[in-house]
Amino acid sequence: MGLVSTWGEMWPRWVPFVAGKPIRPLSAIIPAALGALALTITWTMALILSMRGQALDGRQFGDGGWRGSLTHDVGELGWRAWVFVSAYLPLLAWGPLLAAVTYAYAVRRKAFK
């Protein structure tokens, strides 16, 4: 929230020693950029591995994971797999959207003069 609102530019009054002082842009940009990178890698790998029928630790699922379940009849696991995929698919956008917000924050704060 601090990346997109004005309260991300000044330390709040309740924070000891730095209350009311401006936040240095790089102290927000670096963690946000690292978080965007980590989220992008994590959710992309989770999608790729689950489509291959593997867990993140390398264990193999039965029947090819949820990708195989999407082709089942609706009476079996098919509709549940579609609900699962549609619920978790937006997580793929979390990392890139955080990167976009981080870039907008950097431009707004003129961090790269």
Average pLDDT of 82-102? 89
Q: What distance separates the 2 farthest-apart alpha carbons in the chain?
A: 62
Tell me whether residue 42 is in a domain.
yes
Residues 61-76 have a mean pLDDT of 54
In DSSP notation, 17-81 reads TTTTSBPPHHHHHHHHHHHHHHHHHHHHHHHHHHHTTB-TTSPBPGGGHHHHHHTS-IIIIIHHH
Average pLDDT over residues 64-89: 64
In a domain, 12, yes or no: no
Residue 76 lies in a domain: yes
Q: Is residue 34 part of a domain?
A: yes
Q: Is the pLDDT of residue 74 over 50?
A: no
Percent of the chain with pLDDT over 90: 27
Specify if 10 maps to a domain: no
Please report whether residue 7 resides in a domain.
no
pTM check: above 0.85? no
pLDDT in tens, 5-57: 777 788 888 889 988 888 888 888 999 999 999 999 999 988 887 777 776 67
What's the total number of domains in the chain? 1
Q: Does residue 13 sit within a domain?
A: no
Question: Domain range holding 69?
Answer: 25-108
Q: Residue 94 has what pLDDT?
A: 94
